[in-house]
Structure 1
Amino acid sequence: MKSILLHVNDTEGCEGRLQATFDIARAFDAHVTMLHAVSYEIFAPGDIYGSAVAAALPQIREQAAAFRARMEADLANEDVAWEWVLRHGLPEHALLEYSPLSDLLVVGPRDAGEADTRASAMVGTLLVKARSPVLVMPEGQTAFDAEAPAFVAWNGSSEAALALRAAVPMLKKARSVSLVSVSEEKDRERFDFPPVRGAEYLSRHGIECELVDIPHGEGSVADTLFHAAEARKCGLMVMGAYGHSRLAEMLLGGVTRRAVTNPAIPILLAH
């Protein structure tokens, strides 16, 4: 893993997310591309000639330049190879443009200005369309221990298998790996890939893992997974995204939506 794409914006959690990403870059001797997307799509009712937008542009550009100058000053002495990319438009569009040649895409759990109870539309779009695995950093995360125990959420789906495969470089660094299933007996019968298949795949990459079966309690599957990961002091969770349709997940809840809305630990997802 040598190319990391990091979404940066002028929000409270950005600096911590950057420092955690740089920890990953140091562990893998990787290059970090920091992408700052500035959207000029301002909704101004009745502004049919775009005069309000035109008046706001200088201030938007000035704020973007000040943010970049502040961040670059803080990064002057970092021992990580990095570059700054400024793009105009929606963040998800810019990130998708850069994702095909990125080994990992790092984002925060919510859109700018949104409450912590609302799922990020940007993250949802990236999970479905990005050409690289997406690592969602929790708000307040300021470091990343690449050697901390890792937790793989396994439901036997092809999405879980894809996430497992994408996470191999990070799982190799972890001092222990748990491959964990939360299911009823009837669910196991529908597994496309039983847990032992995931363990066999990891073994071919020189990764030993513990197979764990956790009973589904009264809480949500996502809460059960996070509690189990925290009990094992894990620093990373790996999960397949949107095992059912994304529309069903967004309307009805679902493990993916709950997990990415307010993750307890960094969570790597692939779809």
Structure 2
Amino acid sequence: MRYKESFLSYLQYEKRYSKHTLVSYDCDLNQFFSFLTSYGIKEEELVELNFKDIRKWIVSLMNDGCTARTVNRKLSSLKSFFKYLLRESLIQQNPMDKVVGPRQGKKLPSFVAEHSMLLLQEVDFGEGFEGVRDRLVVEMFYQTGMRLSELMNLKVSSFDRSASVVRVLGKRNRERIIPVSNVLETLLDEYLEQRFLLCSEEDGFLILTDHAKPAYEKLLYRIVVKHLSKITTLSKKSPHVLRHTFATHLLNNGADLNAIKELLGHSSLSATQIYTHTGFERLNVIYKQAHPRA
């Protein structure tokens, strides 16, 4: 699979894509190549592919139960792959040119209601290092809107205490600055005291395990699920739900959409605009409940 390896190398070293993104591209392309193999098509024959072959793959994915969203994500990987091959003159014609992905309905992001998040102040997170750490983790997600990977990789030195901000390294190594509230700063001080008792290093990764090792994804995920379960019956509970909650609460309380875009680290406003749909749904419910003619 020299074409695929060459493409992944390009994404890693020239485009500087994250390891997680590279794994996704690799899985999508492996699945596509397996499909071609089942039809007796070898990698060397990519130059002969046309849009009809791609459509067959789409039909195969849909028959296997893939959602429209999943299929379109895989097609996005394929588009990038063939665009690279065309740029490198490895193919003469892009088979993706006439391919249209399946339509998908807009799925509104899940978020925790404001009154439920207020209950978080009364939650018992436990004593000692783990208790303070768990509270900080949940509050960091809710008060900054950062992604799981961003919090996992956050360093103690990422905070500028004089300016009350935290510097976050997001997707494609884009840095953004997020304000830190007085409440969060106080909680951070409590945590750093406990952290120093566990680990004498003044810098390094901010969130640690109880064995003084850098926190990992499943740990942060479990912390969020455990404590959100105490305040909400929402079926979906995750760090990303808290990111949605952060953005939705900002918008509902009058924040500018462009400001939310910058805080979330979105590359375009279109990704942020989904929260306006959430706001509209909330207004629609209020209207139906309150208006006598509704």
Higher relative contact order (CA 8 A, sep 6+): 1
More helix by share: 2
**Which has the higher Rg, Structure 1 or Structure 2?**
2
Specify if TM > 0.5: no
More strand by share: 1
Scaled to the shorter chain, the TM-score interval is under 0.3
